[in-house]
Structures are given as structure tokens and as C-alpha cells.
Amino acid sequence: MSTPASTPAPAVAKVYKWYFEDFIPGSIIELGQRQVTEEEIIHYAIQFDPQPFHIDKEAATDSIFGGVIASGWHTCGMIMRLVVDGFLNESTSMGSPGVDEVRWILPVRPGDTLSVSAETLESKPSTSKPDRGVVVTVWRATNQDGKLVCTIKGMGMFGRRPL
């Protein structure tokens, strides 16, 4: 006995929450929080940035930092995760032509809770490709004391809202 072939469901266009037009200069998107553990700091650093103050508790205690700190690149990765979860996955993102500036202002330590926000600095529709535009943003990460620990300034390309 054969079963009837099922009819595929009609394709439905994805509706996004964030289009190019939604990035208004001066607007800020709060992206959430993430607590940092010593285990993940050491695990990341062993793989990608094995400097003693990232991977060795004793050496870190004797360093200028007085204890283990996260690699700046790990901090950027944690920020990126909050950005992706906070709006990029619900946007018309087409990727990025690059980052212009990264600043590691204060060390990120085990037990810190990072809060991240994205501020739109500029948005320009493309003159050659009318279906998209470029958005310049600065991402800011603060710790649980409200102190700025890292900033990342860069560009993203986003699709325009359909007419």
C-alpha cells in the first residue's frame, strides 16, 4: 500500500524585525547580558591567546593585572554573540565590510557580567545597489559596575525594507 505524496507547503517570505531603515542615527539597542567564568576565559585563551595572564592563575596573580583576565579577542567574541542574539539574527544583515576600531578599556575578569548595547552612528543607503545600505555602529560593553570595558566601531550592510 502506498501513501500519497505530500504537497510541499508554499514558501513564505521571511519577515525581519530589523531592516536598514530601522537603524536611525542616535538610536541605541540594548542587547542583553552575559556572565564570564574563569573556566571559559582559560579555555578560550589556551586555544587562541595563551599568554600567561589569560591561562595561568599563578602567573596572572604576579602580573600587572593581579589575576586571570579574558583575552581582548574573547571579549570581542562575547560581544559578538550578544549582538547576533540581540538583533543580527532577526535582521536583513548582509555581513560587514569591516571593523574600524576596537578598544579594550578595562580587563574583563572572572565573575564579571557584561552588558552590551549598539548605537547607530550613521546610516547611508547604497548608491549603486538600491536594495541595501551601510550602517555604522559602535558596540559598547560595560561590566556589572557600569564601567566601560570594550568598544567596537564598525559597519554592517543591511537589506532595505520591501515596498
Closest CA to 55 of 66, 75, 73, 70: 70
Residue 143's H or E segment, with its range, is none
Which neighbouring-strand residues pair with 99? 154
Closest CA to 135 of 50, 15, 44, 18: 18
- Please give the Cα distance from 35 to 149 (Å, whole number): 14
Top-tier CATH class for 24-159: alpha beta
User: Residue 3's pLDDT is what?
Assistant: 54
At residue 16 the predicted structure's pLDDT band, cuts being 50, 70 and 90, is confident
Over residues 31-65, the pLDDT tens digits come to: 999 999 999 999 999 999 999 999 999 999 999 99
- pTM (2 decimals)? 0.90
User: Residue 153's pLDDT is what?
Assistant: 98
Tell me, what amino acid is at 85? D
